[in-house]
Amino acid sequence: MERRSRWALGWRELAYAVVGTVLYGAAIWLTDFLRLPSALNVNIKPAVLVPIFGFVYGPVVGLVVGFAGNALGDVFTASGFVWNWHLGSGLVGLVSGLAGLRMHHYASRRDLLLATGWAVLGIAVGMGFASCSDFLMGEADQYAAWYNLFLPTFLSDSVNAIVLVPILLYNYGQPGAGGAGQSILITTLLSSLVPLAFLGFLTVQGYSQAASGARGHLGGPAAAVPADQKVRIKNIRE
C-alpha cells in the first residue's frame, strides 16, 4: 500500500474503518465480563485491534476505528457515551497509523520492534489523555486518575500489544501474502482476543490488589472513592 493512500478516506478506507469498528465493538461486548472492581470498574478491552488497523490501513482509519469502535462497544454494553475515552482510543490508532506511514513491510526484527514500541507509545498517549482529562474535568482525583484509570488500562493494553503486534504484523508483512496476509491478520486477531484479554486481566488484577493495599497504608480506604467525589463509573479497556 502506498504511503499517500494511507491518508485517504475513500470507499476502500471507509470499508476498512467499518469492519474495524464492528470488530472492536463486538470484541468489547464479548470481553465485557473482565472487570476490575478495585479500579473504578475498569474492564479489559482487546484494544490491540486499534493499533493494528492504524499500522496496516493508516492514521485516519486507526483514528476512526479507535473512536467509533470504543463508542460502539459502550453502546453494546450500555455504558453510556464517555467522549474523552473514545477519543483516547482513537489517539492510539492515530499514533500507530502515523508510525505506519514509514513502515510498509514489517518483515525485519527492527520494524517489528519499532512497531511494538510505537503501539505502546500510542497507548500511553491515548490512555494518558483520557485519564488526565478526567482529572481536569473533576471526574476523578489525582490518585484515581493515575492508579485506578491510567495504569490499569495502560498495563493491560501494553501486554496485549507487546504479545500480539509483532505476530500479527509479521504475518501481514510476509512477501507475496497480499490479501491472504490480511485474512490471516484478522483471523489471528479474533482467535487471540479472549486469551490475551485474560492475560491482561491477570496482570492488572495483581497490580490493582497491590495498589489497593498501598492506598490503605496511606491512611485512606483501600481503592475507595471519596464520598464527596463524583467519579463516573466507566468501562475502560485496553
Would you state the pLDDT for residue 44? 67
Q: How far, in Å, CA of 168 to CA of 16, rounded? A: 17
Would you state the pLDDT for residue 157? 85
Asked, for residue 59, whether it belongs to a domain, the answer is yes
Would you state the pLDDT for residue 191? 54
Asked, for residue 211, whether it belongs to a domain, the answer is yes
DSSP type of residue 235: -
The arithmetic mean of pLDDT across residues 129-157, rounded, is 88
The arithmetic mean of pLDDT across residues 76-87, rounded, is 86
Q: How far, in Å, CA of 101 to CA of 81, rounded? A: 31
Is the predicted pLDDT of residue 88 greater than 90, yes or no? yes
Would you state the pLDDT for residue 133? 93
Is the predicted pLDDT of residue 149 greater than 70, yes or no? yes
Q: What is the pLDDT of residues 118-142, one digit of tens each?
A: 999 999 999 999 999 999 998 888 8
Asked, for residue 148, whether it belongs to a domain, the answer is yes
Q: Tell me which amino acid residue 54 is.
A: G
Would you state the pLDDT for residue 226? 44
Q: Environment class of residue 40 by beta-carbon count within 10 Å: exposed (0-12), middle (13-18) or buried (19+)?
A: buried
Identify the residue with better confidence: 183 or 84: 84
Q: What is the pLDDT of residues 41-69, one digit of tens each?
A: 566 666 677 888 888 888 999 999 999 99
Q: Across-strand partners of 42?
A: 36
Residue 23 domain boundaries: 4-217
Asked, for residue 116, whether it belongs to a domain, the answer is yes
Mean pLDDT lowest among 1-5, 148-152, 188-192: 1-5
Q: What is the pLDDT of residues 160-214, one digit of tens each?
A: 888 888 888 887 766 555 555 565 566 556 555 656 666 666 666 666 565 555 4
74, 80 contact by CB (below 8 A): yes
Asked, for residue 224, whether it belongs to a domain, the answer is no
Asked, for residue 43, whether it belongs to a domain, the answer is yes
The size of the chain, in residues, is: 238
Asked, for residue 113, whether it belongs to a domain, the answer is yes
The cell numbers describing 236, all together, are: 475502560
Mean pLDDT lowest among 3-7, 28-32, 36-40, 217-221: 217-221
Mean pLDDT lowest among 1-5, 32-36, 211-215, 229-233: 229-233
The arithmetic mean of pLDDT across residues 145-169, rounded, is 85
Measure CA 7 to chain center. Answer: 21
Q: How far, in Å, CA of 85 to CA of 179, rounded? A: 32
The total of structural domains in the chain comes to: 1
Q: How far, in Å, CA of 147 to CA of 208, rounded? A: 8
Asked, for residue 225, whether it belongs to a domain, the answer is no
Mean pLDDT estimate for the chain: 75
Share of the chain above pLDDT 70, in %: 63
Q: Directed axis angle between helix 49-57 and helix 178-217, to 10°?
A: 140
Q: Which residue is listed with cell 491515548?
A: 126
Would you state the pLDDT for residue 106? 80
